[in-house]
Amino acid sequence: MFYPTATTLSTNKVTLRPLTMEHLAEFFSAGSFPDIWTWSLPDKCTSIKATQDWLTYSVQMENKGEHVPFAIFDNDSGKFVGSTRYCSINIEDRSLEIGFTFITPQFQRSYINTHAKFCLLKHAFEDHGAIRVEFKTHEQNEKSRNAIARLGAKYEGILRNQRILPDGSFRNTAIFSIIEDEWPIVKQSLQEKMAITYE
C-alpha cells in the first residue's frame, strides 16, 4: 500500500532523519536567516516560539498522514543543515510532493540539496511505488526553480493564484514533476552528479 512514513535515509554525504520536537533548537539555529523565507512566508524562525509552533504543526500533519517531515544532516560535520518533507500525499493515486525545503545558507549551492532529494526520490519511487513526485515553488523564485530543474524534474506550467500569502497577495506557483517512467534516467543523472560534482 502507498503510505509513506518517516524513516532514516542517507547517502555518503547526508542523512535524513524523522523531524521531531527534539530538533527545535537546531531547526531554529539553521533557519534564523530571513532570506531563507523570502519565497516561503511566514518565516518559521522569527522566534523559538514560532519554530516550536511549526514543529508542533508538522507533527500533527504527520499524525494525520498528510506530511512526512525530515531533518537534514551533513555527514561530515554532523550539523543539522535544513529540513524537507513529503506533502500533498495522494494515497489512491500514488503521488506526492517534495516541499517545505530549506537549507541553511552555509550549505546552499553545495551537495546537500542533491543528496537529500535523491534520498527522497529513491525512497518514493523504489520503496513506496510512487508514480509521480512533484515540486512547487513561487513563480518568481528563480533559485528554487533552477535547483528543481537541475534534479531532472520537468516544468509543467504555472498554477495561477494557487495560494494566498500572509500579506494577502496571491501566489502564482511553478510546478515541476518526475514520473515513474523517468526515474531510472533521473536516478542515473543524479548519481553521476553526486559522484562527480557533489552539487
> Per residue in 117-143, pLDDT tens?
999 999 999 999 999 999 999 999 999
pLDDT for residue 197: 54
pLDDT of residue 116: 97
Q: Report, as ranges of residue numbers, the positions in the chain whose pLDDT lies below 50.
A: 199
80 and 31 in contact (C-beta within 8 Å)? no
Domains and CATH numbers, the chain: 9-196 (3.40.630.30)
| Amino acid 39: pLDDT | 86
Q: What does pTM read for this prediction?
A: 0.94
CA distances in angstroms from 94 to 30, 84, 153, 179, 199, listed in the order given: 32, 19, 17, 11, 29
